Amino acid sequence: MARIIDVIDHTNVMDDELAYREPQRGSGDWRMGSQVIVGESQAAVFVRGGEALDVLGPGRHTLSVANLPILSGLIGMATSGRTPFTADLYFVNLKDLPQVPWGTRPPIVLETPGKGMGVVLLITHGVIDISVSDPLRFVKQYAVGKPIVRVSDLKDRIQSMLLGEIAELLTKSGAQSIMDANSLLSDLEGAALARLNDKFEALGLRIKAFESNPFTAKDVPLDELRNYVSLDVWERVQRLKVAETAAGNEGMAGGLAGAGVGLGVGQAMGAAMDPNQAALQQQLQQQQMMMQQMMMQMMQNQQGGAPQGGAPANPQTREEIQAMLDSLDIRFANGEISEAAYNRLVEKWTKRLEELG
């Protein structure tokens, strides 16, 4: 039989340490009467058979049925028994761990209806202060079977939860621009802290502080944009690209960047579409031919006017009307029509699109 552990403690706690198993090589042999010394800002959790059982707080503890009721019941010991038993012991660090960095990886997608491509990628970074609030729950969630748990081991989980909450709060706030998002930043910090703690409590963790720097726009090539947005948004971006090209402007970098899109689309005018999107490519090619014809008609009309005359300038199908709406976005962004004319025409053709069902 391995040597029975008579006295054990864990004093060499690393700055980013959350849980540490003693002994490191695995389970130890214990008996009633063994002593466990738990330091200030620590808790000790006994685990047997992969199940977290009893928790000891700060102080010197002589193991007994009184302080290990679950474990002693499990191993069937009598009150005065000193029969050796095997178990893992995890020391949990309860100190606050300040200035834990986080950032928007991936960026947050913010819808900006009627502005450029209708979407902007928000990026920022900041810090949080975290600590373990429930050592038993934390050990169950993350520590069992591991010799050590550090903050870096939870980084992806923390990051995912933070970004999910921020994105949801931004969406519910109605923000439609970077300026809107930044004006809500202090409210976001407080709201995110409260909502996040509800979720982190289920993991045995607590966030004590949440700080964020101002949002900025992430500049990405057009082909990289596909990695962040939905297929609907991607189709809209492609239609705007077709409309801009057909209008004979300087390109996406001129028209859309001038509209404050902030997505670096000018870097990828010649980017090829993903071969796996063959159906989308065929659709866009058809739309390009239609848009070129319609834009030639529109450029002959007076400024702010709707297409006049025969059927080619009067869209009838859903695809033709959608193309018309996209072209109006481009013309308004480039200052070719007034806001009043833009709103009037958008209302007219949107209503027509709804009538088509």
The C-alpha atoms of residue 252 and residue 339 are separated, in whole angstroms, by 21
| pLDDT per residue as tens digits for the range 298-316 | 544 444 444 433 333 577 7
Q: What pLDDT score does 306 carry? A: 45
Whether residue 181 is predicted with pLDDT greater than 70 in this model: the reply is: yes
Note if the bond before 106 is cis, omega within 30 degrees: yes
Percentages of the chain per state (helix, strand, coil), in multiples of 5: 45, 25, 35
What number is the average pLDDT over the span 218-233?
Answer: 75
Domains and CATH numbers, the chain: 7-93 (no CATH), 97-217 (3.30.479.30), 222-356 (no CATH)
The C-alpha atoms of residue 319 and residue 107 are separated, in whole angstroms, by 31
| pLDDT per residue as tens digits for the range 110-158 | 888 766 667 788 999 999 999 999 999 999 999 999 999 999 999 888 8
The C-alpha atoms of residue 175 and residue 187 are separated, in whole angstroms, by 13
The C-alpha atoms of residue 327 and residue 248 are separated, in whole angstroms, by 12
Q: Is 296 exposed, middle or buried (0-12, 13-18, 19+ CB in 10 A)?
A: middle
| pLDDT per residue as tens digits for the range 196-219 | 888 888 889 998 888 889 999 888
Q: What pLDDT score does 193 carry? A: 78
Degrees, nearest 5: CA angle 19-20-21: 130
| Higher-scoring residue by pLDDT: 291, 169 | 169
| Higher-scoring residue by pLDDT: 330, 308 | 330
What number is the average pLDDT over the span 169-195?
Answer: 82
CB 124 within 8 A of CB 159: no
Whether residue 79 is predicted with pLDDT greater than 70 in this model: the reply is: no
Q: Where are the beta strands (DSSP E) in 31-183?
A: 35-38, 42-48, 51-56, 59-62, 85-93, 97-103, 108-111, 119-123, 125-132, 148-150
Partners of residue 335 on adjacent β-strands:
none
CB 103 within 8 A of CB 124: yes
Whether residue 49 is predicted with pLDDT greater than 60 in this model: the reply is: yes
CB 334 within 8 A of CB 255: yes
The C-alpha atoms of residue 32 and residue 173 are separated, in whole angstroms, by 58
| Higher-scoring residue by pLDDT: 181, 264 | 181
The C-alpha atoms of residue 285 and residue 267 are separated, in whole angstroms, by 21
| Higher-scoring residue by pLDDT: 37, 267 | 37
Q: What pLDDT score does 314 carry? A: 72
Q: Is 351 exposed, middle or buried (0-12, 13-18, 19+ CB in 10 A)?
A: exposed
Q: What pLDDT score does 204 carry? A: 93
Whether residue 263 is predicted with pLDDT greater than 70 in this model: the reply is: no
Integer CA distances (angstroms), 98 to 15, 127, 131, in order: 10, 8, 9
